[in-house]
Amino acid sequence: MNQIIECVPNFSEGNDLNVIKQITDEIESVEGVRLLNVDPGKATNRTVVTFVGTPNAVVQAAFKAIKKAGELIDMSKHKGEHPRMGATDVCPLIPVSNISMEETVAYAQELAKMVGDNLQIPVYLYEYAQPDKQRNNLSIIRAGEYEGFFKKIKLPEWKPDVGPQEFDAKRGGTVIGARDFLIAYNVNLNTTSVRRANAIAFDVREAGRTKKINGKTVLDENGKAVTIPGSLKSVKAIGWYIEEYGVAQISMNLTNIHVTPLHIAFDEVCKKADARGIRVTGSELVGLVPLQSMLDAGKYFLEKQKRSTGVSEKELVRIAILSLGLDELAAFKPEERIIEYLLKDKADSKLINMQLDDFADETASESPAPGGGSISAYVGALGISLATMVANLSSHKQGWDERWKEFSDWADKGQYYKNELLKSVDADTKAFNQIMAAFGLPKSSDEEKRARTQAIQDATKLAIEIPFRVMNIAYESMEVIHAMAATGNPNSISDAGVGALCARSAVMGAFMNVRINAASYNDKNFVEDIIAKGKAIEEKTITLEKEILQLVNEKIK
């Protein structure tokens, strides 16, 4: 699989859309990158751009964008609410898949050298790309901002890592680095006071505030200012006023979302604001957010209500948007702001995105796919969906309040099995299509024949493995179905029974596909092993189905 890194350059222009478009055109001109998001801010006069791609392509695209920004943006005329020091203020690289932080650091350092040597822009490295831990923090590097850097750059301790030790009046300097995924996040307040917003920011940010007594800074034995740390780790924050919206905000960078996730940052700001007589009215995300952050937020707010978290992904995202007030200032469109949704290949979910009648029509058509494997996966998804429904109904049943978490956990499991089976609907059809494509390969020479035979065998193995996985998941999902038949809402007992019938059909149907595809696979040891395992799963499924149906029928009587 390809190595993928993300790049999130911040350009010091948020008003002139023509300038922004010229910069992003440079990014899109490079093959191997995909522009995901362009997020201009008028008050900050800054645009956050997000793109992903293979490492070399990302480095090339970032270089071209930095070059173009330097040509179009004049920092001597720039004004904005956000701290800044250059036309391309900061340009981080972030590992996304199949690449380590160490490898990402090497690419960041390569980009910095290209910018410093070829464009003659002073460059500072930050975060993981900066070997000197005394100057790896972005806010420390940028302290003094554009106006102060003409003198700062002359100090020996602030010599650029790459490029000239002269501050460019038009282009400024830039900071390039490698970092973990960072969420830029602003929380809206019902005040216009920057002083009060800053007080809340100091309450929550890790760096906290300088300790003062009677207006004087308290010093330690070494003469350094004593600080009172804030309540949130891995959070940077300042307060500012956004004229565009007419409100003050707490502007935060969540630098490690595993330490302080989105929902915790939001709730903590709510608490600190409330203590100062201020209300949080909503929030906004700058750039993109990982899907898991939204799902975790949705579950967090449902748990606070003692509601089942075993709801669909779409519903969890909706709950997160509502609870965080992400659509207060502008519409929040998940398909445009969640990184996984932007990277999703629509071809991978063509079937499950169809309407029910279209899916039935496609199945009934003369096309050989979707076939029995995809239908088995879908039947299995329907079976566990019924059991998940029973779990959710049980979690919210009047008089069962003490058991809401028990059933919420079952519903969570059910959602997992449902999602995995739904993925297999398209995966099975895709595997069949790969076999057909392999059979269509040329075979005019011995080399072509060997390549064609290998491609057919590889595709056949995949077409065995996918329905075998469906068997496993459908069987495992019966744990939830059995629990709902035994302990779930008695008014929905028949739904658990139908779920068991569907799961059994999914296992047996998928096993038929395993067997028919295995007949064409040359590795007989692999075939014997997987058929034996399949028979064992089928037998266990039939036994468990009988147990569930007995429970159901006894309760119906």
DSSP annotation string for 150-193 = HHHTTSGGG--SBS-SS--TTTB-EEEEE----EEEEEEES---
Per the annotation, the verdict on 82 as an active-site residue is yes
Helix/strand/coil (H/E/C) assignment for every residue in 323-391: HHCCCCCCCCCHHHHEHHHHHCCHHHHCCCCCCHHHHHHHHHCCCCCCCHHHHHHHHHHHHHHHHHHHH
DSSP state, residue 83:
-
Q: Which amino acid is at 316?
A: L
Q: Which one is catalytic: 39, 82, 296, 426?
A: 82
At residue 290, the 3 state secondary structure works out as coil
Per DSSP (E only), the strands in 198-321 are 209-210, 212-213, 216-217, 227-228, 235-242, 247-254, 280-286
> How far is 188 from 283, CA to CA, in rounded Å?
5
Closest CA to 82 of 12, 17, 153, 179: 12
- In the block, residue with structure tokens 């028979």: 535
127 — phi, psi (to 5°)? 55, -135
Q: Which one is catalytic: 89, 161, 203, 428?
A: 428
- 90: tokens are 């900061």
CB 166 within 8 A of CB 123: no
Contacts of residue 465, Cβ cutoff 8 Å, sequence gap at least 6 = none
Q: Is the peptide bond before 122 cis (omega within 30 degrees of 0)?
A: no
Query: What are the respective helix, strand and coil percentages of the chain, to the nearest 5?
Result: 55, 15, 30
Number of H helices, E strands in the chain: 17, 15
> How far is 130 from 114, CA to CA, in rounded Å?
16
> How far is 552 from 494, CA to CA, in rounded Å?
7
Q: Which amino acid is at 278?
A: I
> How far is 343 from 350, CA to CA, in rounded Å?
15
Q: How many angstroms separate the first and last alpha carbons of the chain?
A: 55
400 — phi, psi (to 5°)? -105, 25
Contacts of residue 247, Cβ cutoff 8 Å, sequence gap at least 6 = 188, 189, 190, 191, 192, 241, 281
> How far is 143 from 371, CA to CA, in rounded Å?
62
User: Across-strand partners of 238?
Assistant: 251
How many C-beta atoms lie closer than 10 Å to residue 156's C-beta? 6
Contacts of residue 437, Cβ cutoff 8 Å, sequence gap at least 6 = 455, 459
Active site residues: 82, 428
